[in-house]
Structure formats: C-alpha cells, structure tokens
C-alpha cells in the first residue's frame, strides 16, 4: 500500500472527523462503566505512539480544538489537554511495538489519565468543575481511562501499519 504524506494527513483528518461524528451520535447513546470512550484521544495517542511527539502534539491540539468547538466546553481546554497528552505519548514512540496489543492499551490508559487531569485543572481554573478531584478520579477519570484503553489496540494497529507504509515509501524514493 503506497501512502504519501499528504494522503496520510487526509486519512488522519478523516479518522479524526469520523470519530468525532461517532462520539457525538452513535457512541453518545451508550455508556461503558458509566462513561463514553474518548476515541479522539485514541486517534491522537495512536498517531503519537507511531510517529512521535511532534505529530502527537499537532494532532492533539487539532482534535482537542475540534472537540472544544463541537462540545461547547471551555475553549482551549480540550486542545491543551489533548495536545500535552499527544506530546507525552509521542515521547515513547519507538518503544511501543505494534505486535503487542497490550502496550498501546497501557500507554492510552496512562494518556487518558493525563488528559483527564489536565482537562480537570483547566476547567477547574475557570470554575467549570462541580466535583472534587478524588470524586472525578473515581467516577470519571479511571473508568474513562479503562474504556478508552480498550479501544487502543485496534486503532493503534491500523495507524502503525499506515505509518510503516509511509516510511517504506520514503525509503524507496531515496533509493531510486
């Protein structure tokens, strides 16, 4: 499969818009452990784990801004949380192997906790939080991290293979 960098951007953008649409419609009707999975974070985390901190940061900010716009939450709060989370997850790029489905799930579990804590702090700064930190951790953050991590292996494998194809194409061009 030949995937150029411009096609890769279109695929990621399409995936981001697709999961936002899913989150706002179909998945919004269902809860798991009382929460809904953060599929935007799964896309951001998968890209970050496969490509590194720079793309994790860019796609995190992009996905977070789209969530801020569509959800009506505090402007910039999701962009900040997802951007920082994408950056942090991107720092471990190369240490997560696509053959092991457990490692992306563990990374996304930790990434979801980082994302939720940052969002809690950003929203709390402006008085948008009604729960204590411990209550939010117990009722929202940890369950959300568990549910989101369950989706990680599936999307990560897709993005890892997409980026492997891109790297092969770039190597192939440098030889020819």
pLDDT per position as a tens digit, 147-165? 999 988 888 888 777 776 5
175, part of any domain? no
Helix (H, G, I), strand (E, B) or coil at 129: coil
172, part of any domain? no
97, part of any domain? yes
How many Cα atoms occupy the beta-carbon half-sphere of 29 within 13 Å?
4
CATH no. for residue 72? 1.10.1760
Cβ atoms of 9 and 48 closer than 8 Å? no
CA dihedral (11, 14, 20, 23) in degrees, to 10, reads -70
User: Tokens 């452990």 identify what position?
Assistant: 33
125, part of any domain? yes
Domains held by the chain: number? 1
Residue whose C-alpha is closest to residue 50's, from 10, 2, 97: 97
The pLDDT value given to residue 84: 98
168, part of any domain? no
Residues 10-68 have pLDDT tens digits of 999 999 999 999 988 888 888 888 899 999 999 999 999 988 999 999 999 999 999 99
Confidence category of residue 118, pLDDT binned at 50, 70, 90: very high
Q: Cβ of 111: how many Cβ atoms within 10 Å?
A: 31
Mean per-residue pLDDT, 95-112: 86
11, part of any domain? yes
143, part of any domain? yes
Backbone angles phi, psi at 35, to 5 degrees: -135, 170
Domain, as residue range, for 93: 5-162
Using the 8-state DSSP alphabet, how is residue 141 labeled? Answer: I
């Amino acid at each position: 499969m030949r995937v150029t960098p411009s096609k890769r951007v279109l695929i990621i953008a399409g995936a981001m818009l697709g999961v936002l649409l899913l989150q706002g419609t179909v998945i919004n009707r269902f809860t798991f452990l009382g929460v809904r999975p953060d599929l935007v974070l799964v896309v951001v985390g998968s890209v970050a784990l496969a490509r590194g901190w720079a793309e994790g940061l860019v796609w995190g900010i992009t996905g977070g801004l789209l969530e801020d716009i569509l959800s009506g939450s505090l402007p910039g709060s999701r962009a900040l949380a997802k951007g920082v989370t994408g950056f942090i997850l991107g720092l471990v790029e190369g240490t997560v192997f696509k053959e092991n489905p457990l490692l992306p799930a563990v990374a996304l579990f930790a990434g979801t906790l980082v994302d939720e804590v940052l969002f809690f702090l950003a929203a709390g700064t402006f008085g948008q939080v009604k729960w204590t930190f411990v209550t939010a951790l117990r009722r929202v953050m940890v369950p959300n991290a568990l549910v989101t991590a369950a989706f990680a292996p599936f999307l990560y494998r897709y993005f890892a293979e997409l980026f492997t194809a891109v790297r092969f194409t770039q190597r192939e061009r440098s030889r020819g």
